[in-house]
Amino acid sequence: MGRAPSLVRRTKTESDNAVLRQFGERVRMLRGDRPQRSLLRFDAVAISRYESGRVDPSLTQLVRLAEDLGCTVEELLTGIRPLVP
């Protein structure tokens, strides 16, 4: 029996950090003046970490965050609001 392959954790590059900072800025902008605790499925610490670019959310968290912020995942990731037909 062979061993299961190990997951390789790569270190974040400066480009990764820039993407996370931009994501955090979009979260902060979309949240607006609402307090961090207004996002009911997230605690204030998690929102703070997203906004500061220290943590990248999982796919599930990304979908929930977009729902709570009233935007699409696309807008949250790119800053581009989709056109409404």
Q: Determine the pLDDT at residue 52.
A: 94
Rounded to whole angstroms, the Cα distance separating 24 from 21 reads 5
Give domain limits for the chain: 15-78
pLDDT tens digit sequence for 22-46:
999 999 999 999 888 888 889 999 9
Could you say which of 3.30.930.10, 1.10.10.410, 1.10.260.40, 3.40.50.2300 is the CATH number of the domain covering 15-78? 1.10.260.40
Q: Please, what are the averages of pLDDT over each run of 10 residues along the chain (85 residues)?
A: 58 84 94 86 92 92 94 92 76
Long-range contacts of 66-71 (CB under 8 A, 24+ apart): 68/39, 68/40, 68/41, 68/42, 69/27, 69/30, 69/31, 69/39, 70/30, 71/30
Rounded to whole angstroms, the Cα distance separating 79 from 23 reads 8
Q: Determine the pLDDT at residue 6.
A: 56
